[in-house]
Amino acid sequence: MTLRLFVAVAGLLFAVHTTAADSSPAARSAQASASPVAPRVVTEPVRYDTDDPAIWINAEDLSASLVVGTDKDVDGALYVFGLDGKVVQDKVVRGLLRPNNVDIVQGMQFGSATADLAVVAERYAQRLRIYRLPGMEPVDGGGIPVFEGERGRDVMGIALYTRQSDGAVFAIVSRSETFAPTEGYLHQYRLFDDGTGTIRGVFVRAFGAWSGQKEIEAITVDDALGFVYYGDEGYGIRKYHADPLADDAGDQLAEFGRNDFAEDHEGLSVYARADGTGYLFASDQQANRFNIYAREGNPGTPHVHTLLASVYLGTDESDGSELVATPLPGFPGGLFV
């Protein structure tokens, strides 16, 4: 019964700034060996195995913001935690077939209004399940099937992308490595309200290279800059345009982190500042640390991402992660889960 850690971002960014001043291998090694950044909150345990979190910001009452996380098992669940780490029992969704990863979109067009939605990859059901926040009511008509017509359909990773030009919302999903192709590993679906209060999904494209070594699970999207990152486990981090209509949408923009990880490239999350700067966090899973890169890339080379720092958070083979820059009660610099 794995626990999640709620970490104040200020301590993480202090560690990043300290090391970035001297980005030599020796400096990074010294920083990575420092004491772990202590969590502000440790959540109550779940029944089986936590995998991936997402954060919902309650704009009307920040103290009522929530963390949603998967409990990965054949009799799994989607757990909901308050900022105090306690389970909100009446919001927990149970009876899911190995819910793998989850993400949240806020302000999606829903009828004549907008809605905040949690979208979870239900691995063994080979579908996406969608729940409206904060009540966690299902709004998907029983689920959206994914990877239809493919030999391997077990869905794993998911990240949501909101296109800035028109507000269109997309789900980018990955699958189990069984029968997966080395090109087109990821599928992208546009999500929309069908006019009856039900969210549907339509396939948009297949994209993304895979090394063939392990699998791809960790995905994150930088909405403002329009990029999607994913971890090709045991190989590196890859970067593409998130917008399927981009002129070079199918071209890989960057490949990095090849020599920065002990083994698997896992949980990815973005700390986004309004000025376009920030950080990309990546779980160096077997080393029990997070590697940190500049969101905007290196100066003058936006698609070159050099390791800035590595920080320990007291995690044990951390899988998914989520990060927001929004100040929250108890987390004035943002929240990292």
Q: In whole angstroms, what is the distance from residue 324 CA to residue 40 CA?
A: 15
What pLDDT is attached to residue 286? 78
Its pTM stands at: 0.93
Strands 307-311 and 323-324: unpaired
> Region 188-213: what's the mean pLDDT?
98
What pLDDT is attached to residue 287? 75
What pLDDT is attached to residue 2? 54
Evaluate whether 278 touches 296 at the Cβ level (below 8 Å): yes
- Residue corresponding to tokens 């981090």: 237
Residue 75 or 16, more confident: 75
Q: In whole angstroms, what is the distance from residue 201 CA to residue 241 CA?
A: 20
* Residue type present at position 246: A
In the chain the first and final C-alpha atoms are separated, in Å, by 16
- Output the CA–CA distances (angstroms, integers) from residue 141 to 74, 100, 149, in the order listed: 21, 20, 21
Residue 141 or 7, more confident: 141
Is a pLDDT exceeding 60 seen at residue 21?
no
What pLDDT is attached to residue 1? 54
Q: Which two tokens stand for residue 213?
A: 């070594």
> Region 215-234: what's the mean pLDDT?
97
Is a pLDDT exceeding 60 seen at residue 20?
no
At residue 39 the predicted structure's pLDDT band, cuts being 50, 70 and 90, is confident
Evaluate whether 317 touches 291 at the Cβ level (below 8 Å): no
At residue 33 the predicted structure's pLDDT band, cuts being 50, 70 and 90, is very low
Is a pLDDT exceeding 70 seen at residue 37?
yes
Residue 93 or 290, more confident: 93
Chain mean position to CA 212: 22
State the Rg of the chain over Cα.
19
Question: Would you mind telling me the total number of residues written for the chain in this entry?
Answer: 337
Q: In whole angstroms, what is the distance from residue 195 CA to residue 52 CA?
A: 31
Contacts 24+ apart (CB under 8 A), 239-244: 239/303, 239/305, 240/207, 240/208, 242/161, 242/163, 242/170, 242/172, 243/161, 243/163, 244/170, 244/188, 244/204, 244/205, 244/207
Chain mean position to CA 115: 20
Q: In whole angstroms, what is the distance from residue 102 CA to residue 81 CA?
A: 14
What pLDDT is attached to residue 24? 47
CATH class, domain 5-336, is: mainly beta
Is a pLDDT exceeding 70 seen at residue 275?
yes
> Region 296-316: what's the mean pLDDT?
91
At residue 22 the predicted structure's pLDDT band, cuts being 50, 70 and 90, is very low
pLDDT (tens digit per residue) in 233-265: 999 999 999 999 999 999 999 999 999 987 777
What pLDDT is attached to residue 84? 96
Q: In whole angstroms, what is the distance from residue 134 CA to residue 117 CA?
A: 8
> Region 60-79: what's the mean pLDDT?
97
Q: Which two tokens stand for residue 234?
A: 């045991």
At residue 288 the predicted structure's pLDDT band, cuts being 50, 70 and 90, is confident
Residue 1 or 223, more confident: 223
Is a pLDDT exceeding 80 seen at residue 318?
no
Partners of 290 in the beta sheet?
283, 311
Q: In whole angstroms, what is the distance from residue 37 CA to residue 44 CA?
A: 20
Q: Which two tokens stand for residue 167?
A: 């507000």
Q: Percentage of the chain with pLDDT > 70?
A: 90
**pLDDT, the chain, mean:** 91
